[in-house]
Amino acid sequence: MQFFFPRQHRHYKLTHWLMAIEFPFVVVILTLTGIASHNLYRSLLWQDGADNGFNSAPDEALYAAANHRPYSAPMVWSSFITNFNLVIGVLSTFILIVKLPLHSMHIFFPPVAATVHGALFILYIVSARYQAGSDTSDPKHPQPGAPWYITKSCSVAAHQTNIGYCKQAKSLFAITVIVIIIYAIEFGISVHSCFITEEEKEKVLELREEKRIEKEFEEEVLKSPSMAPMSAGMIPRTPGFPPLTVQPIARHGAPISPFTPRHLAFNRLGNGSTSSDLPLRDNNSSMPTPQIPSQPQTIESQASPSQPMYFPPPPKKATKN
Secondary structure (DSSP) of 181-235: HHHHHHHHHHHHHHS--HHHHHHHHHHHHHHHHHHHHHHHHHH-TTPPSP-GGGS
Collapsing DSSP states into helix, strand and coil, what is residue 237? coil
Largest CA distance in the chain: 179
Q: How far is CA 55 from CA 69, 76, 157, in A?
A: 20, 11, 13
Share of the chain above pLDDT 90, in %: 43
Q: How far is CA 58 from CA 126, 151, 158, in A?
A: 23, 20, 15
CA distance 151 to 137: 19
H or E stretch covering 43: helix 42-52
Phi and psi (nearest 5°) for 297? -75, 145
H or E stretch covering 57: none
8 A C-beta contact, residue 69 and residue 75 = no
Query: pLDDT category, 64, cuts 50, 70, 90?
Result: confident
The pLDDT value recorded for residue 268 is 55
Enter the pTM of the model: 0.64
pLDDT at residue 20 is higher than 60: yes
Sequence-separated (6 or more) residues with CB below 8 Å from residue 229: 258, 259
* pLDDT 10s digits, 201-241: 677 667 777 777 887 777 777 777 655 455 444 555 555 55
**CA-closest candidate to residue 73, choices 116, 105, 39:** 39
Q: What sections of 132-162 are H helices per DSSP?
A: 148-151
Query: pLDDT category, 73, cuts 50, 70, 90?
Result: confident
Highest mean pLDDT among 36-50, 113-127, 275-289: 113-127
The pLDDT value recorded for residue 299 is 43
CA distance 207 to 239: 9
* pLDDT 10s digits, 27-58: 999 999 999 988 899 999 999 999 999 999 98
